[in-house]
Amino acid sequence: MDVKESILNGHLVLAVEGRLDANSSAAFQERLLTEVEKRPNSRVVVDLTGLNYLSSAGLRVLLVAAKTSKKIGTEVRLAGLRPHVEEVFSISGFDALFQIFPNPEAAAS
């Protein structure tokens, strides 16, 4: 897994590429929570356009980030879900927990 950071419309975008699974979830959770906690009352966009695989460990990371962000007023928005990743979100009910956008530009506006 690789994570690239950028700023779009004044908001942090973390673009995740590869696999978000048991092997990579701990490192990504640390990175995502650090960024969320540094930006109270702001927005963090997680761009999943380059995500090839999402396991339950990856879903857990996003759930922890959602709970943490609610406490401090940060919005975590997801963007660019590929059909197979979107299906995982739908089946697990995670699509009801997040604002999901077609691309990072829409999520950062």
Domain layout of the chain by residue ranges? 2-107
Exposure class string for 73-93: b at 16+ Cβ within 10 A, else e: ebbbbbbbbeeebbebbeeee
**Residues 2-54: tens digit of each pLDDT:** 999 999 999 999 999 999 999 999 999 999 999 999 999 899 999 999 999 99
Q: How confident is the model at residue 60 (pLDDT cuts 50, 70, 90)?
A: very high
pTM above 0.75, yes or no: yes
* pLDDT > 90 in the chain, percent: 98
Reference 35, options 76, 95, 81; nearest CA is 76
Single-letter amino acid code for the residue at 47: D
pLDDT for the residue numbered 77: 97
Between helices 56-72 and 25-38, what is the axis angle to 10°? 10
Domain at 2-107, CATH homologous superfamily: STAS domain (3.30.750.24)
Reference 11, options 39, 50, 51, 48; nearest CA is 39
